[in-house]
Structures are given as C-alpha cells and as structure tokens.
C-alpha cells in the first residue's frame, strides 16, 4: 500500500535521507534508488501524496507509519496478505529488496494529505456525526444503527443519499434526513470517503 501531490510543504526522502540510512547501517551501499524514486511506481494507483484509494478499494496511505507500510509490503511480497483483494496485484508490485522496502516505507510516512480538500471537507462534515457514531465510527447510534466503520465507501454514500431521498433508514430515517438534507452530492462523497478511511 503506498503514496503521493508534491509540494504543500511535505518532506521528501531523497539522496540525503538514503545516505543517512546507509551510514546508520539500516540499508547497505548496494541500494541506489531513493524512497522517492521507488515510490514512482506507486503513484498511478495511490496518488502523489497517497491521497487516492487504489482501484477505489484501499485505504489512504499518505503519512501512514513506516512500520505499517513496511509490514504490509513484506507480507504482500511473501504472499501472506490479500487486503481489499489486492494480494496478487501488490505481490507483483512489491518485489523490492528489504532495503528498498525500508526506503519506500520511510518515504510514504513523509507524505501528507492534510491539505487534500476532500479529506479536510469530510473530516469537518463528520464533526457533526461524532456525537452519535463516535470519533472513530465505532458506536451504534442510539443503539440502533449499524457500526459505520464496517461499511464500504459506496455503501456509506448510498445510505446518505437514501436518507436525503427518504428511501433508506428504518428507525433512523427521520433523524438522519435532518442531518444530511442540506449537504451537496460532493459533501456526501467527501463524508463517505472520510468515514470509510477512519
């Protein structure tokens, strides 16, 4: 799982960082590519800042802990991980040496999606939802709703649209219609994206 929109004040691991890892004995001198260079292959699916859901399925990886990325890449390489059904694809993408996995994982950690407007918008919109669904979407609202953190982005979006149209919701229909009635379709998409990545 990996990364990327260049600039925005983000820190990039380049030759200096690679050299520091080599000098500290974390990688050997045979490593010639930097984490940034290695990440080039990841941009198509994950975006320049890790701001994209690969094939509309994966989590956002920009800024993800390097230990998490390193673990995932090692597991994909070994064929032991099939997260989001992407095991085969990622196994082919992660034929990196141990040193290269470390370098690209360190680079992914430096990526920032904090300035991504969709994420910021979704986070701001979700502030209203926390009272019932909890900060991490792990609470059943009023003891009646589904745990929304277990839902996929498209299912969340369709539920929100259904609340607006009064075609979805059971016991929560009236309450939720009031919560989403003034939101645009873009707002609903941003909110669904944010919730699906909690």
What is d(CA 178, CA 197) in angstroms, rounded to the nearest whole number? 24
Residue 33 pLDDT: 81
Would you write out the chain's pLDDT as a tens digit for each of its 198 residues?
333 322 323 333 344 555 555 556 565 555 568 888 999 999 889 888 888 888 878 878 888 888 989 999 999 999 998 888 888 889 877 688 888 998 999 999 888 765 455 566 888 899 889 889 998 899 988 888 889 988 888 999 999 999 999 888 777 888 899 899 999 998 899 899 889 877
How far separated are the first and last CA of the chain, in Å rounded? 16
The residues, any chain, with a CB within 8 Å of residue 158's CB and separated by 6 or more, are 168
The four Cα atoms 9, 123, 192, 146 give a dihedral, to 10 degrees, of 140
- H/E stretch holding 185: helix 185-196
In the CATH scheme, what is the code of domain 117-196? 1.10.760.10
- Token pair, residue 61, equals 């990886």
Task: Give me the architecture of the 15-110 domain, per CATH.
Answer: Orthogonal Bundle (1.10)
Q: Domain map of the chain by residue range?
A: 15-110, 117-196
pLDDT at 159: 93
Count of CB atoms within 10 A of residue 194's CB? 23
Are domains 15-110 and 117-196 of this chain identical in fold?
A: yes
pLDDT value at position 176? 92
Contact 101, 114 (CB under 8 A): no
Residue closest to 3 by CA, chosen among 45, 55, 37: 45
């Amino acid at each position: 799982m990996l990364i990327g929109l260049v600039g925005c004040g983000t820190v990039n691991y380049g030759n200096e960082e690679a050299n520091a890892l080599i000098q500290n004995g974390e990688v050997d001198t045979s490593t010639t590519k930097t984490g940034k260079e290695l990440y080039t292959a990841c941009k198509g699916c994950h975006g320049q800042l890790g701001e994209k859901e690969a094939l509309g399925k994966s989590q956002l990886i920009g800024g993800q802990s390097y230990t998490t990325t390193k673990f995932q890449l090692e597991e994909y390489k070994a064929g032991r991980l099939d997260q989001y059904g992407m095991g085969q694809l990622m196994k082919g993408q992660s034929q990196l040496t141990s040193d290269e996995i470390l370098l690209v994982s360190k680079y992914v950690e430096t990526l920032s999606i904090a300035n991504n407007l969709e994420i910021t918008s979704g986070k701001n919109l979700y502030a209203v939802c926390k009272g019932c669904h909890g900060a991490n979407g792990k609470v059943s609202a009023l003891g009646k709703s589904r745990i929304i953190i277990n839902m996929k982005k498209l299912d969340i979006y369709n539920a929100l649209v259904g609340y607006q149209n009064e075609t979805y919701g059971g016991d929560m229909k009236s309450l939720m219609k009031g919560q989403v009635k003034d939101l645009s379709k873009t707002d609903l998409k941003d909110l669904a994206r944010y919730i699906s990545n909690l």
